[in-house]
């Protein structure tokens, strides 16, 4: 049975060159290591994101704020926001259509694009983790809630040289 998952392909580009793959870190960074070069990031919601869905997303921003150097602030105009959150269906014009099945539930574009179709970690530059409890693990079970894991934090620290 397929589990709902992120639509970003699993590449597992391990940034730890020494040793090549014998490491305790299981995070991965997106190809090319895209990242933000400023720490105050604006975000906005498309009108298709209802108020009930905004609350957990705002909590997620606060959680990422607590473990990263980023400060997130809301602005009304989505076209001016660094991070643009929308919920989409089918072919929605970004080249990565949702096919109407429950297997792919999200995808996000890396910095500096900022389009988020549900996953904030990719918007910060992280790729998937091989740690089941990590936010960046590519699948999630119905009703499951995850907090940011040490592996997610280690990935951010590596990417942003913290």
10-38 pLDDT, tens digit per residue, is 554 444 444 344 345 688 888 899 999 99
Residue 22 is labelled as binding a ligand: no
Residue 113 is labelled as binding a ligand: no
Residue 149 is labelled as binding a ligand: no
Contact criterion met (CB below 8 Å) for 153 and 67: yes
Report pLDDT for 150.
95
Q: Report the CATH fold assignment for 25-159.
A: Collagenase (Catalytic Domain) (3.40.390)
Question: Could you tell me which residues are beta bridge partners of residue 126?
Answer: 29
Residue 154 is labelled as binding a ligand: no
Report pLDDT for 8.
57
**In the chain, what are the domain boundaries?**
25-159
Residue 92 is labelled as binding a ligand: yes
Does 2 have pLDDT greater than 70?
Answer: no
Report pLDDT for 69.
93
Residue 151 is labelled as binding a ligand: no
- The CA-to-CA distance between both ends of the chain, in Å, stands at 39
Q: What is the pLDDT of residues 91-140, one digit of tens each?
A: 777 777 776 665 666 778 889 999 887 778 999 999 989 999 999 988 87
CA distance 157 to 162: 5
Q: What is the pLDDT of residues 42-99, one digit of tens each?
A: 999 999 899 998 999 999 999 999 999 999 999 999 999 999 998 877 777 777 777 6
Strand duo 5-6 + 40-45: pairing: unpaired
Closest to 92 measured CA to CA, from 110, 74, 76, 104: 104
C-alpha distance from residue 76 to each of 20, 46, 73, 85 (Å): 45, 9, 10, 12
Report pLDDT for 17.
47
Residue 119 is labelled as binding a ligand: yes
């Amino acid at each position: 049975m397929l589990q709902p998952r992120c639509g970003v392909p699993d590449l597992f580009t391990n940034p730890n060159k020494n040793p090549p793959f014998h490491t305790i870190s299981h995070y991965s960074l997106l190809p090319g290591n895209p990242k933000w070069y400023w720490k105050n990031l604006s975000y906005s919601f498309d009108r298709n994101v209802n108020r009930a869905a905004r609350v957990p997303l705002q909590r997620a921003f606060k959680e990422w704020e607590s473990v990263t150097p980023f400060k997130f602030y809301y602005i009304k105009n989505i076209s001016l926001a660094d991070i643009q959150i929308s919920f989409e269906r089918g072919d929605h014009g970004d080249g990565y259509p949702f096919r109407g099945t429950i297997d792919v539930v999200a995808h996000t574009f890396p910095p500096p694009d900022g389009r988020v179709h549900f996953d904030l970690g990719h918007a910060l530059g992280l790729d998937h983790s091989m740690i089941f409890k990590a936010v960046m693990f590519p699948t999630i079970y119905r009703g499951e809630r995850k907090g940011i894991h040490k592996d997610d934090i280690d990935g951010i620290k590596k990417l942003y040289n913290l």
